[in-house]
Amino acid sequence: MSKPQHFHFVLLFSTVVVALAAIANATAATSITPRFKEAPSFYNSPDCPLIIDENHGFSILFSDQAVHVAMTLDTAYIRGTVAAILSILQHSSCPQNIAFHFVASADASLLRATISSSFPHLNFLVYPFYDSSVSRLISTSIRSALDCPLNYARSYLANLLPSCVHRVVYLDSDLVLIDDIAKLAATPLGDNSVLAAPEYCNANFTSYFTSTFWSNTYFSLTFANRKACYFNTGVMVIDLDRWREGDYTTKIEEWMEVQKRKRIYELGSLPPFLLVFAGNIVPVDHRSNQHGLGGDNFIGLCRDLHHGPVSLLHWSGKGKPWARLDANRPCPLDALWEPYDLLQPKTPFALDS
């Protein structure tokens, strides 16, 4: 083969390889994100306020009158996120007055398109979260799933969201609401508190930190004069103005730096929140966090509801309802999540008799 012919052959071969790689990448991107059907449209009740800005234009995403909701967005939990969004809209009196703020560290365009196709009229923005901004601070925990940088995005909401957003409800993706989110968003924070969350003072608080922490006089004095209790960071109402004024992101990062040197805890993104806020939060009614529903199902152990009224069901823990339903090994309470699942097609399931 002559040199010109060889050159054209190599060029053609390279072009084909590049084209095939592009097709493969597009196919991979499509395959990692499941398909969801379009949700029904939801409209405000007649007594909902009409939110308009000073220029008489709609601006739900930046309005004080809106209910602002923040969630993370990734391919692993997108099915849960879609179900959570549907549950919020379905039980809201003013669904058109809800603004969603999604934080994504990868596949942002694909995830944005997924949300748009399932909820064409949803008021939402997607904010990029760069793993490098926190990965240097993350220490390995007892579960590798807890080491994902996106788990730490809740610590950066005050930096990511616009300064005109003053209060936000942060929610995990493994939950559904069965009450109006406006009730949770209106939780009074008093004169000084930065956040409200479901608090559990019967939990063994000392277990969230290592013996290295408790044996160090300086560290253990962190909770002096504070009635420190465990609280769940998967359901929080946050005053972003107070967070910014107190520079609480920096305070959390400082404890993460201590963790890198001293190994003072084992549980990922939760302990830094406890170190900064435990004992100084407003407790949210436990009806707003029926938690622990993701209890280990591998040996047939399923959790029941706690006593009392229920506003929110939270599958915190290792087991997620969509995974158990797909494996045809659901817990009874997973049937309460299934009606909000927009995946298409869905795997039929049946509860064991």
**Res. 128 pLDDT band, cuts 50 70 90:** very high
- Report pLDDT for 293: 84
Over range 2-21, report the average pLDDT: 40
Q: What value does the mean pLDDT take over residues 128-143? A: 85
Percent of the chain with pLDDT over 90: 69
Give 289-343 pLDDT, tens digit per residue: 888 888 754 555 788 888 888 999 999 888 899 999 999 989 999 999 999 999 9
pLDDT tens digits, one per residue of 221-257: 999 999 999 999 999 999 999 999 999 999 999 999 9
pLDDT tier at 348, thresholds 50, 70, 90 = low
Question: How far apart are the C-alpha atoms of 77 and 188, rounded to whole Å?
Answer: 30
Whole-number Å distance between alpha carbons of 140 and 151: 13
The Cα 69–Cα 45 span in angstroms is 20
- The CATH topology of domain 60-340 is Spore Coat Polysaccharide Biosynthesis Protein SpsA; Chain A (3.90.550)
Is residue 19 over pLDDT 90? no
Strand 199-200 to 230-231 pairing: antiparallel
Domains of the chain: which residue ranges?
Answer: 60-340
211 against 267, higher pLDDT: 211
Average pLDDT over residues 29-56: 79
Confidence of residue 143 (pLDDT cuts 50, 70, 90): low
Least Cα distance to 240 among 169, 158, 184, 153 occurs for 158
The pLDDT score that the predictor gives to residue 291 is 83
Mean pLDDT along residues 281-290: 87
- When mean pLDDT is compared across 59-73, 97-111, 215-229, 278-292, the lowest value belongs to 278-292
Q: The tokens 């309460």 sit on which residue?
A: 336
Please check the confidence at residue 11 and state whether its pLDDT lies above 90.
no
Given a cut of 80, whether residue 164 has pLDDT beyond it is yes
Rounded Cα gap, residues 350 and 293, in angstroms: 18
